Amino acid sequence: MIEAELSRSVQRWCKGATGATSAAKLSGGASQETWRFDIVHPDGVIGAILRRSPKGYGAAPTRAAGLAAEAQLMQLAFEAGVPSPRVMHVLVPEDDLGTGFIMQRIEGETIARKILRDGEYAAARPLLARQIGGILAGLHWLPKDKLPELRSRGATQEISEFERDYRSLNWPKPVFELALRWLRDHDPGPSAETTLVHGDFRNGNLIIGADGVRAVLDWELAHLGDPMEDLGWVCVNSWRFGEIDKPVGGFGSREELFAGYEAAGRKVDPARVKFWEVMGTLRWGIMCGGMMQRFREGPDHSMERAMIGRRASETEIDLLRLLAPRGS
Amino acid sequence: MQDEPSPIELTKSVADFLRNDISPLITGHQAFKLRVAINILDLVTRQLTREEDSDAAEVGRLRALLGIDGSVTELNRVLADRIAKGELDLATPGLADHLWATTMDKLAVDQPNYASYRRELGRGW
């Protein structure tokens, strides 16, 4: 069914294309879907990805940048040499596919546990922390005058927003309260420099091959803010998938991350990075609470959602390890 | 008093049946869902096994910290509130120890294989 629309669409903008096949939905909530498909072309099949909001789901959730902004950011990143898929087409009404865009499909692995354990990535793994530093620097260098319109968020606003989210759950958690107090006491204030922040740069949102990072995905939480936020988030223990002594996604050390970042001509502020790591840990914990609420109130009454609610305690032990380490 | 077998034994028997007899027969997305289901039953079994003792210990610590009595839920609300108001913090004797003990008890039920938990457990609890 979607192949008919895709076939008509690709023939309009992809020179020589004769149709689309092998469409399969990769993920999707009610308002946003990701599909893989192949563009049939006389020179050979072209792998493609569709990101879209189906018709009638135009509005983005409050924190999301929106698909149009995502497409623009990925294209900007691609042009600046940040590993990113090339955007091939931004959907127009004639496509009859809703709103969104079509991009080149990049082969590789996104499943964090495989990247951390499979032999195929063994040579790449020790290089990734430093490489990620360089990529984040590239991303933070993207020219601000070319960016789409994005929400702007500093540390102080983020603390208030997470506190509001947490209180709305009516889910008293002494460790989260402690973390909120710590964040308020250590709020670094506005950063000297405001840049593009990816917002969800972590192991799991990167396509990785034997040669390293091939693409940065999931730009939907992109915003303007403190560049150190991305460096802190990539270090959150939840994205180390068991490799807890390698803070950068389970790949390597903060020192390697920082060296890669500074080699690309940018400065690291380690105290701010730590602040954002604590913030990120709490952020994921509160998101687990949100999953519990969605399970309980019905929109997604799945076992998986229910079990994610039970992962909040992982962030509590990680917060205690950050804020009240034992034996110290 | 209810008859036996206990809820712990009953839940465990269902989990073992699904794990040993059903999961070899199932593949694909349904196999993934089945693993989640078994994980839930295992979690429930752990909670039924541990909750009474861990709640009692938690209430004991909370009474000492807060100087009041109440259910484990009520006392947790008061503790959260006092931390939010800045009346208690990490400098308060016993608070860090209490939060650690409570969190370790939660992980023992929720995610006993979580790496941070294994590490802390190895330091001796």
pLDDT-derived band at A55 (thresholds 50, 70, 90) equals confident
The count of CB pairs under 8 A between chains A and B is: 87
The helix-helix angle for B115-122 and A312-323 (nearest 10°) equals 50
Chain A contact set for B103 (CB, 8 A):
175, 313, 316-317, 320
CATH architecture of A112-323: Alpha-Beta Complex (3.90)
CB contact under 8 A, A303 and B107: no
Sketch the domain layout of chain A as residue ranges.
22-104, 112-323
Q: pLDDT tens digits for A227-255?
A: 999 999 999 999 999 999 999 999 999 99
pLDDT-derived band at A301 (thresholds 50, 70, 90) equals confident
* pLDDT the model gives residue B56: 98
Q: pLDDT tens digits for A261-300?
A: 999 999 999 999 999 999 999 999 999 999 999 898 887 7
Chain A contact set for B84 (CB, 8 A):
177, 180-181
Residue spans of chain B under pLDDT 70: none
Q: Where are the alpha helices (DSSP H) in A125-242?
A: 125-140, 155-168, 174-185, 228-233
Question: Does residue A90 belong to the interface with chain B, where contact is any CB pair within 8 Å?
Answer: no
Residue A246 distance to chain B (closest CA, Å)? 12
Q: Provide the 3-class DSSP secondary structure of residue A225.
A: strand
CB contact under 8 A, A174 and B83: yes
pTM of the predicted model, to two decimals?
A: 0.93
A162 pLDDT above the threshold of 80:
yes
* Dist CA B52 CA A81 (whole Å): 57
Average pLDDT, chain A: 93
Instruction: Say how many domains are in chain B.
Output: 1
A327 pLDDT above the threshold of 90:
no
* pLDDT the model gives residue A54: 79
pLDDT-derived band at A65 (thresholds 50, 70, 90) equals confident
- Choose among A262, A320, A153, A127: nearest CA to B104: A320
Could you tell me which chain B residue has the CA closest to the CA of A177? B84
pLDDT-derived band at A30 (thresholds 50, 70, 90) equals low
A27 pLDDT above the threshold of 80:
no
- Which residues of B lie inside 8 Å of A (Cβ-Cβ)? 33, 36-37, 39-40, 43, 76-77, 79-81, 83-84, 86, 89-90, 96, 99-100, 102-104, 106-107, 110-111, 114-117, 119-120, 123
* pLDDT the model gives residue B124: 78
Mean pLDDT of A92-97: 93
ipTM value, please give it.
0.96
pLDDT-derived band at A56 (thresholds 50, 70, 90) equals low
Q: Return the CATH fold of A22-104.
A: Phosphorylase Kinase; domain 1 (3.30.200)
Q: Provide the 3-class DSSP secondary structure of residue A207.
A: strand
Domain encompassing residue B109: 7-122
